[in-house]
Amino acid sequence: MNRRRLCGLWATLFVASSAAAAEPGRVASINLCTDQLALALLPPERIVSLSYLATDPNVSYFHARARAFPTNRATAEELLQTKPDLVLADRYAARPTVAMLERFGIDVWRFDQPAGVDGIVAELERLGAALGVEDRARQLAADMRTRIATARQQVTPGATIAFFHPNSWASGAGTLADAALAELGLSNAVGSAGYQSFSLERLLATRADFLAIPTDQSAAFSQAAAVLNHPAIVARWPSNRRIELAGNNLICGGPFFAEAVEKIAVATALK
């Protein structure tokens, strides 16, 4: 074999081995949000396990798709048995499990919860690179931006929205709900930062134009959800002033964020 052919063979083998290293064949997820990204980015045969929350329709956007996979409770013992090439985890959760996995030589990719579109795109592309599916990640990011841009054209800017949840919690500045409003030129009536306890009296004092509530919890029979149907709320925000959103749209940052933006746009368009 001459030198040129030998060099060509080595180059081919190097490229092939690099591609294999960039595409972990067996991927496990131990976090709800990384479950969503794995399901959005990967073909089924590359997913060996998802967190037990992945099949819960109240919190998981891809809950139906997730039922096809084994689930885990984020313990090192069960994960080691599945022999994953890469485990997807939240940066600040399940730290003892992550430490044990790394001690056994398992690679772990850590998720940073984004607070808006740019952050979602950054996490998509970062994970896409780790999984060797960069094209898929870029396409999902581009589709999300296109859908949001289209939704933006339907809205008359200026309306104020309050996101109110069971147990009298509200979504303030810096949350994904707040980011959805910012994309549409709408204002968050809650104002102050983060997820926070928010009394009925404070909510009524906001005089928000629309009230956004989670559909999955508003229909639930519980004391926690009963506040959403308080007579004062019903009188202040009748059905045409309520925005019902699936809770699983805004718990995690992912390409499905566009769906929440679209629903808000439709509910507030020209009203």
For 7-18, what is each residue's pLDDT tens digit?
443 444 343 344
- Same domain membership, residue 258 and residue 158: yes
- Same domain membership, residue 172 and residue 94: no
Residue 119 lies in a domain: no
Question: Could you give the C-alpha distances from 158 to 80, 202, 234, in angstroms and in order?
Answer: 52, 21, 23
Residue 11 lies in a domain: yes
Residue 140 lies in a domain: no
Helix axes 32-41, 117-131, angle to 10 degrees: 70
The last residue of one of the domains, among 86, 111, 136, is 111
Per the structure block, which two tokens stand in for 191?
């104002």
Q: Looking at residues 182-202, what average pLDDT do you find?
A: 93
- Same domain membership, residue 180 and residue 99: no
DSSP symbol at 250: T
H/E element, 215: helix 215-218
Place of tokens 């067996």: 26
Position 146 pLDDT exceeds 70: yes
The last residue of one of the domains, among 64, 83, 111, is 111
Position 84 pLDDT exceeds 60: yes
- Same domain membership, residue 97 and residue 48: yes
In three-state secondary structure terms, 172 is coil
Using an 8 Å Cβ cutoff, are 36 and 256 in contact?
yes
Question: Angle CA(104)–CA(48)–CA(254) in degrees, nearest 5?
Answer: 100
pLDDT tens figures, 218-269: 445 567 788 888 999 999 999 999 999 988 999 999 999 999 999 999 999 8
Q: How many domains does the chain have?
A: 2
- Same domain membership, residue 180 and residue 95: no
Q: Could you give the CA distance from residue 220 to residue 166 in angstroms, rounded to a whole number?
A: 10
Position 136 pLDDT exceeds 90: yes
Residue 60 neighbours by CB distance under 10 Å: 24
Position 1 pLDDT exceeds 60: no
- Same domain membership, residue 248 and residue 154: yes
- pTM above threshold 0.85: yes
Using an 8 Å Cβ cutoff, are 32 and 53 in contact?
yes
Is 119 exposed, middle or buried, given 0-12, 13-18 or 19+ CB atoms closer than 10 A?
Answer: middle
Residue 162 lies in a domain: yes
- Same domain membership, residue 262 and residue 156: yes
The last residue of one of the domains, among 50, 80, 111, is 111
Q: Which residues pair with 28 in a beta bridge?
A: 49, 87
Using an 8 Å Cβ cutoff, are 91 and 112 in contact?
yes
DSSP symbol at 173: B
Q: Could you give the CA distance from residue 91 to residue 107 in angstroms, rounded to a whole number?
A: 13
Q: How far out from the chain centre does Cα 143 lie? A: 15
Sign of CA dihedral 77, 82, 87, 88: negative
Domain of 15? 3-111
- Same domain membership, residue 236 and residue 160: yes
Residue 104 lies in a domain: yes
Q: Which CATH number fits the domain that encloses residue 224?
A: 3.40.50.1980
Residue 91 lies in a domain: yes
Residue 132 lies in a domain: no
Residue 71 lies in a domain: yes
Say what percent of the chain tops pLDDT 90: 79
- Same domain membership, residue 156 and residue 97: no
